[in-house]
A = this chain, B = another copy of it.
Amino acid sequence: MAATVERMGRSSRAPRRRSIKDVADLAGVSVGTVSNVLNKPALVAEETRIKVEAAIASLGFVRNGSARQLRAGTSQTVGAIVLDISNPFFTDVARGVEDRLAEDDHILILASSDDRLDKQHRYLRLLEEQGVQGVLVSPASNDLTWLDQTRARGTAVVLLDRPSPSPQICSVAVDDVKGGDLAATHLLELGHQRIGFVNGSTKIRQCADRRKGVRKALRAAGLRIADSLVETTVSALNADGGEEGLERLLRVSEPVTAIICANDLTALGVLRGLRRRRISVPEQMAVVGYDDVEFAGVLTTPLTSIRQPRYQIGRAAATLLLNEAGSRTHRHEQVLFQPELIVRESSGPPAR
Contacts and interface: CB of A to CB of B under 8 A. Distances in A.
Contact of A272 (B17, B98, B156, B300): B300
| Copies of this chain per assembly | 2
A251 interface: no
B11 A332 contact: yes
Contacts of A123: 107
Contact of A129 (B64, B151, B330): B64
A177 interface: no
Interface residues of A, number: 95
Interface in A325-339: 328-338
Given A86-B91, A299-B299, A9 B60 contact: no
A6 interface: yes
A30 interface: no
Contact of A333 (B1, B5, B129): B5
A85 B91 contact: yes
Given A11-B324, A298-B265, A86 B76 contact: no
Interface in A58-80: 60, 62-70, 75-77
A131 interface: yes
A157 B330 CA distance: 40
A148 to B, nearest CB: 11
Interface string A1-42: 111111111111111111000000000000000000000000
Interface of A: 1-18, 60, 62-70, 75-77, 85-86, 88, 91-92, 94-95, 98, 102, 105, 107-112, 122-123, 125-131, 149, 151-154, 156, 166-169, 239, 265, 268-269, 271-272, 275, 295, 297-301, 309, 312, 316, 324, 328-338, 340
